Amino acid sequence: MKLYTSEIKAMPWQEPAGKSTGAPIWRYTENPIIGRNPMNHVARIFNSAVIPYEDGFIGVFRGEQNNGIPYIYLGESKDGIKWEFEQEKIRFVDEEGNEFMPRYAYDPRLVKVEDTYYIIWCQDFYGAAIGMAKTQDFKTFVRLENPFLPFNRNAVLFPRKINGNFMMLSRPSDSGHTPFGDIFLSESPDLVYWGKHRHVMGKGSAWWESLKIGGGAAPIETDEGWLLFYHGVSGTCNGYVYSIGGAILDLDNPSIVKYRCENFLLTPEAWYEERGFVPNVCFPCATICDPNDGRIAIYYGAADSYVALAFTRAEEIMDYIKEHSVLSDIDEERGKR
């Protein structure tokens, strides 16, 4: 098993304690790693993405301000666990350097392609839609064209071009608390024009993901395909429940699902997942991987209130996904239809 991710200097990691009962994935015992009121004017940080940077890590964090409006804040860490935040929200500019702030911004993902870092988030564009910006130094953040029409959420860029094009997953939606949703793939030669839209995966037949699904962390390149951690939602009589699922997509054509795990990998059961601003939410947004030994740290938002960490190993989790893979016609590549 090979992982094609960049070398890292330090890996946030903890060995599992005790016997695992489901998938080979375990929570960090010191969770949550970011608690309530992380800043004076920010009540909660959750659904956030991190990436190795210089000697440590850098991240983009969904900070829910005290007035309830979410924005993206920059954070830095030496070990990927203890984070220091910039007090001011990220200042986005246009190509000319003029301030160009979205009205709100949430659920950011952070992906490096070649020598540039891209932030992709959800913002207002006549309703919920995708916003994008690029940076090379984490000082200047230049907004790009909005990639998709409204309504859309959970856009996740692939960490390299495939067949010469940028590739992005997204989840077309409505502008509210969308009660439906499949994952689609779009490609672009220049991050301006997007097309060749393909269907990737439908909401699952398994009950834990029967309402909707959405891309989570940037797909991890392995020699067997793109390892995708995504979220799946079940609509219960008491509201939505967000769990983490796993799939493996074809390397050259990621609209093809090779394996899809019928079991959730992680579902809300810890206090910080079950109790909070929105109970019962595990919402993965990023991973850190050690390409030498396959260790993976998954960063996920918990109960729209905290950031938490879970760990797994590439080989074990991929074996588990393959062993429990159930594909159905909703996973067929039928985007041309």
Query: Which are the contacts of 126, defined by CB distance < 8 A and separation ≥ 6?
Result: 150
- Angstrom CA distances, 23 to 108, 230, 287, 296, 300, stand at 26, 15, 17, 14, 16
SS3 at position 181: coil
Binding residue for ligand BMA, selected from 301, 306, 309, 320, defined by CB under 6 A? 301
Please tell me whether residue 2 binds ligand BMA under the rule CB under 6 A. Answer: no
Query: Which are the contacts of 337, defined by CB distance < 8 A and separation ≥ 6?
Result: 199
C-beta of residue 123 within 8 angstroms of C-beta of residue 113: no
Interaction mask 157-196, ligand BMA, x per CB under 6 A: --------------------x-------------------
- Angstrom CA distances, 17 to 20, 29, 33, 179, stand at 8, 9, 18, 37
| Whole-number Å distance between alpha carbons of 191 and 177 | 28
Total number of residues that touch ligand BMA (CB under 6 A): 10
Please tell me whether residue 43 binds ligand BMA under the rule CB under 6 A. Answer: no
Binding residue for ligand BMA, selected from 47, 77, 234, 305, defined by CB under 6 A? 47
Interaction mask 224-263, ligand BMA, x per CB under 6 A: ------------------x---------------------
Residue nearer to ligand BMA on the CB measure, 106 or 208: 106
Binding residue for ligand BMA, selected from 49, 73, 92, 107, defined by CB under 6 A? 107
Near ligand BMA by CB under 6 A, which window of 136-144, 189-197, 276-284, 320-328?
A: 276-284
Binding residue for ligand BMA, selected from 208, 226, 283, 299, defined by CB under 6 A? 283
Q: What is the phi/psi pair of residue 265, to 5°?
A: -90, -35
Residue nearer to ligand BMA on the CB measure, 241 or 289: 241
Cα-trace Rg, the chain: 18
| Whole-number Å distance between alpha carbons of 46 and 63 | 7
Nearest distance, CB of residue 177 and ligand BMA, angstroms: 6
C-beta of residue 262 within 8 angstroms of C-beta of residue 245: no
Near ligand BMA by CB under 6 A, which window of 51-59, 195-203, 243-251, 275-283?
A: 275-283
Binding residue for ligand BMA, selected from 130, 281, 296, 310, defined by CB under 6 A? 281
Query: Which are the contacts of 153, defined by CB distance < 8 A and separation ≥ 6?
Result: 107, 122, 128, 130, 170, 171, 173, 178, 214
Residues 110-139 that bind ligand BMA (CB under 6 A): none
Give which of 99, 4, 13, 3 is closest to 297, Cα–Cα: 13
> If you ran DSSP here, which 8-state letter would residue 178 be given?
-
Binding residue for ligand BMA, selected from 304, 309, 318, 331, defined by CB under 6 A? 304
Please tell me whether residue 273 binds ligand BMA under the rule CB under 6 A. Answer: no
- Angstrom CA distances, 188 to 152, 250, 329, stand at 17, 18, 27
Residue nearest to ligand BMA (CB): 278
Residue nearer to ligand BMA on the CB measure, 107 or 187: 107
Residues of this chain that interact with ligand BMA (CB under 6 A) are: 47, 106-107, 177, 242, 278, 281, 283, 301, 304
